[in-house]
Structure 1
Amino acid sequence: MTTDVSDPNELDQRVFPPTARRDPETGELRLGVVSASTLISQYGSPLYVLDEDVARARARTIRVALEAEAERIGTTATVYYAGKALLCIDVARWMSEEGLAVDVASGGELAVALAAGVDPSRIGFHGNNKSEQEIGRAVGAGVGTIVIDSEIETERVAAAARAAGIRQRVRLRVNSGVHASTHDYLATAHEDQKFGQPLSDAPRLVAAILAHDSLEFVGLHCHIGSQIFAADGFRESARRLMAVYPELARLAGHSIPELNLGGGFGIAYTSAQAEDVPALADVARELADMVADGAREFEVPVPHLAFEPGRIVIGPAGVTLYTVGTTKPVPLAGSDAAAPADLGHSERLYVSVDGGMSDNARPALYGADYQVRIANRTSGADPALVRVVGKHCEAGDIVVHRDVLPGDVRAGDTLVVAATGAYCWSLASNYNHLPRPPIVAVSGRGARLIVHGETEDDLLAKNVSWRPEGDPPTA
């Protein structure tokens, strides 16, 4: 819930892209140099909008900060963009051009990165169930590093590398037993979960990797969760990983060259969350210091560092535009109000839009909240407590659980929901046969379509028995 509701027209620059502005005359939202109404008119609604300049700037800032801190402690760093957050050809190119490597987690994501012209040696391949075909494609393409997630993958990757006549770089994904304070479905370092191997098994598994001449073991990988604001989890996880490095070095006969601490850095989805987001420079410094401390404690060389940010790069660069269809006031009774007492609202205004959980599954999956504003105008109407909901046949089809908008929000208004660049398009579905929206990139140069939206005909065409009107019946 936004903490300052004195002006429900205000765009909090900690949540919205920093280039988002109100037109001083009309009050309309401008993204890059393009108005919201122009975007809707040209590309339709709902609409994903990515600010290319913001995405590039964030990628560059994160890379420079982590590389500089690595240099300060006497090592180097590779920053992988976690493609699962949002991956299309243009985004992959932006990341590569800004000096980031790219992390993929499926054959499809690998295909996108390669189609974007990303140097295969700067691609990392993740996944808990990589097929033999996917592994073969990755090895054949020259993927720089494959992350081994299970014991069986050691044999699969070794066989593929041997068949290709190469020595494949690999990391071993382990669970440090440390997980971020976050939603259970987002916490990915529990011992009892599908990713990685127990840290206690690392020596045995690394020995198995070292037994294959076709594999080059370069280090451990661990991912402790998502939407993390504090460094405590990273610190303890890094210490536990590095405690194993002396034994791994004895097995390998040399020091272990790399350590991948994963990603999971959090962003502000609402003004209230913005208070908790640390400065990136502080995070980078803390990460570097904790690795340096671990190297001293366990008397090993400071390893090359790798990180895999995704959400923190692309999330704040994106917004979603919707069109309001209906509004409906619902009375709130006593303790059911779920609103700050100082607002004094006796009812909640349900605002229905033309999208929903098919274009943003995070509220339904994780209980995530977002911030919303009217995009086509400003208003002096009294603020109203609102819940923005979608058009799907699910009670949990909620886009914004609670925020405040001008009370005259009405059918036909354009709404903008902030910080939707990550895990919205990539999790999108066709529930209730809604076509997935397009993605448009904006910048100081204008707007351009980078991912086509779907049409109802696109969905019908997946049905073998469907034929367009006028086409003859099939035999």
Structure 2
Amino acid sequence: MLSPADSLAPDWLAIPDDANTLASGVWPASAQRDADGEIVLGGMPVSEIVRTHGTPVLVLDENEVRGRARAFHDAFAAAAAQHSTSARVYYAGKAFLSTTIARWVTEEGLNVDVCTGGELEVALAAGVDPARLGFHGNNKSVSEIERAVSAGIGTIIVDSRIEIERIAVAAERAGTVQRVLVRVNSGVHAETHDFLATAHEDQKFGMPFADAETAVARIRELASLEFAGLHCHIGSQIFGVAGFRESASRVLALHEKLLAGGDIPILNLGGGFGIAYTSVDDPTPIAQLAAEIVDAVAAGCAERGIPLPILAFEPGRAIVGTAGVTLYEVGTTKPVTLESGASRLYVSVDGGMSDNARPALYGAQFSARIASRTSDAAPALARVVGKHCESGDIVVDHEYLPGDVAPGDLLAVPATGAYCASLSSNYNHVPRPAVVAVADGSSRVIVRGETIDDLLSRDVGISMNEGAR
């Protein structure tokens, strides 16, 4: 028999035997509780991190980022070598980009994807070899294209016919030949466990196959451009390889047709590999992903009697997502009881949708744990909410926390390394939090947190004297 509180819980959320346990795979490998019950990240107790850096704060485990980058690089390299080719793995700058992160992932063998002029400048400021950069985006400006070409960017991913002419002119002016990929829509759309095959993708990215053929023909006519291959991306937070197999099969059919016009050295199959946000998520192991996808492409090439190209992949959030843990301080708690008798404990923290917009944007699910202590109190169904003036300001929609969670407790939300800092805002004039790296018992700021003075400094209606604080 369900209790009234349990009737509000989704079917996938089970009452935990111990609401203090850190689910394996959801947290960085270094995360553990010490003898006092406090969570330790990268060898640093959370209370020490907060004492130095305040809350909210996004904590990134350096060794987790490096380890996952290295694991993806090595897995795809090994899988490709089995078929006498090579593989390139690109870190998705949009997931989270800073100069420090760019250095970490490139030191571990990855290339970097950027999709705006700002991301390009961060990567260049980090000292990343421009030849190891790929430039995505459906609306690259002329100035962004010119900057990328002049910097010597490795590849630009063409998203429309208009871009072909823009890139060609920029490359001609720069006196160079720019390598480009053409992004296509394979008609396979993957979301988590399921994929749906359709005739055409109704979305802003890429081109249908018929348009791509015309685009490639035009690229091959232009002396300042080099057609290097096709690019396809089928979705995000994907578990399993079924969608990749189907998409690869379709893209290879186009690849084979285009070979009649010349060599095609690269095939980029995108990525969007999923991570665990909750204990019920079951992402596909990295080595299995790499082996099965590369095997499928190799088999498809063999069936068609065509050479296997260099393969490229974009794991997305899978590099940095699990490495991030956001720490908050609990401000208030409030039990809410419905007319049905069902109740839920609302736990308000000192951040919210300004530092994690994903629940509001996508209905994304996260986990949470009291970080500063353990508790023997019975688990209570809770909803972690932020401080913003929005009813949709939810950080963790459904979670069981110890029923004695109280103001002053530190609360940790794992798997926030991707698409949290990069989507952060100043909604309600809340300063964005710092990003802090931890490793081997020490911490350091890699992105400075904002202050109220930072926000006021952008308001031109405040004179310097009146705005002084």
Fold shared by both chains (TM-score > 0.5): yes
Query: What residue in structure 1 maps to residue 267 of structure 2?
Result: 259
Query: What residue in structure 2 maps to residue 341 of structure 1?
Result: none
Please list the CA deviations of residues 250-307 of structure 1 after superposition, one character each: whole Å capped at 9, or x if unmatched: 123xx3111000110000000011xx21211111111111101110122210010001
Query: What residue in structure 2 maps to residue 216 of structure 1?
Result: 226
Give the letter for the 2:270 counterpart: G
Displacement of 1:203: 1.4
Query: What residue in structure 2 maps to residue 316 of structure 1?
Result: 322
Q: Does 1:328 align with 2:324?
A: no
Structure 1 residues 2, 190: closer, same or farther in 2, change over 3 A? Answer: farther
Displacement of 1:333: 5.3
What does residue range 180-329 of structure 1 map to in structure 2 within 5 Å? Answer: 180-182=190-192, 191-252=201-262, 255-273=263-281, 276-329=282-335
Displacement of 1:3: 3.7
Displacement of 1:192: 1.1
Displacement of 1:71: 0.7
Give the letter for the 1:327 counterpart: T
Gaps of 5+ in 1: 338-345
Displacement of 1:460: 0.9
TM-score by length of 1: 0.93
> How far apart, CA to CA, are the structure 2 residues paired with 1:176 and 1:333?
49
Gaps of 5+ in 2: 1-11
> How far apart, CA to CA, are the structure 2 residues paired with 1:57 and 1:286?
21
Q: Does 1:466 align with 2:462?
A: yes
CA contact (8 A) 1:3 1:271 kept: no
Please list the CA deviations of residues 311-335 of structure 1 after superposition, one character each: whole Å capped at 9, or x if unmatched: 000000001000101101012455x
Q: 1:377 aligns with which of 366, 373, 378?
A: 373
CA contact (8 A) 1:360 1:399 kept: yes
CA contact (8 A) 1:263 1:310 kept: yes
What does residue range 77-88 of structure 1 map to in structure 2 within 5 Å? Answer: 77-88=87-98
Query: What residue in structure 2 maps to residue 343 of structure 1?
Result: none
Structure 1 residues 53, 308: closer, same or farther in 2, change over 3 A? Answer: same
What is the number of equivalent residue pairs in this alignment?
A: 456
Structure 1 residues 20, 302: closer, same or farther in 2, change over 3 A? Answer: same
> How far apart, CA to CA, are the structure 2 residues paired with 1:348 and 1:468?
47
CA contact (8 A) 2:193 2:238 kept: no
Displacement of 1:132: 0.6
Task: Please state whether the residue corresponding to 1:262 is helix, strand or coil.
Answer: strand
Structure 1 residues 94, 189: closer, same or farther in 2, change over 3 A? Answer: farther
Please list the CA deviations of residues 22-69 of structure 1 after superposition, one character each: whole Å capped at 9, or x if unmatched: 111x11111112111111111111000000011000000010001100
Structure 1 residues 64, 351: closer, same or farther in 2, change over 3 A? Answer: same
Q: 1:179 aligns with which of 162, 170, 189?
A: 189
Structure 1 residues 452, 188: closer, same or farther in 2, change over 3 A? Answer: farther
Please list the CA deviations of residues 363-399 of structure 1 after superposition, one character each: whole Å capped at 9, or x if unmatched: 0111101010000000001110000001111111100
Query: What residue in structure 1 maps to residue 8 of structure 2?
Result: none
Task: Please state whether the residue corresponding to 2:290 is helix, strand or coil.
Answer: helix
Query: What residue in structure 1 maps to residue 6 of structure 2?
Result: none
Give the letter for the 1:230 counterpart: G
Displacement of 1:13: 2.2
TM-score by length of 2: 0.94
> How far apart, CA to CA, are the structure 2 residues paired with 1:108 and 1:169?
21
Structure 1 residues 87, 380: closer, same or farther in 2, change over 3 A? Answer: same
Query: What residue in structure 2 maps to residue 52 of structure 1?
Result: 62
Deviating runs (4+, > 2 A) in structure 1?
Answer: 1-4, 181-184, 187-190, 467-472
Task: Please state whether the residue corresponding to 2:328 is helix, strand or coil.
Answer: strand
Task: Please state whether the residue corresponding to 1:179 is helix, strand or coil.
Answer: strand
Query: What residue in structure 2 maps to residue 398 of structure 1?
Result: 394
Q: Does 1:430 align with 2:441?
A: no
Q: 1:419 aligns with which of 402, 415, 419?
A: 415
> How far apart, CA to CA, are the structure 2 residues paired with 1:44 and 1:88?
20
> How far apart, CA to CA, are the structure 2 residues paired with 1:220 and 1:188?
19
Q: 2:24 aligns with which of 13, 23, 37?
A: 13
Displacement of 1:154: 0.3
Task: Please state whether the residue corresponding to 1:91 is helix, strand or coil.
Answer: helix
> How far apart, CA to CA, are the structure 2 residues paired with 1:101 and 1:67?
13
Q: Does 1:160 align with 2:156?
A: no
Q: 2:99 aligns with which of 63, 74, 89?
A: 89
Give the letter for the 2:304 counterpart: F
CA contact (8 A) 1:189 1:225 kept: no
Structure 1 residues 425, 29: closer, same or farther in 2, change over 3 A? Answer: same
CA contact (8 A) 2:188 2:198 kept: no
> How far apart, CA to CA, are the structure 2 residues paired with 1:246 and 1:349?
58
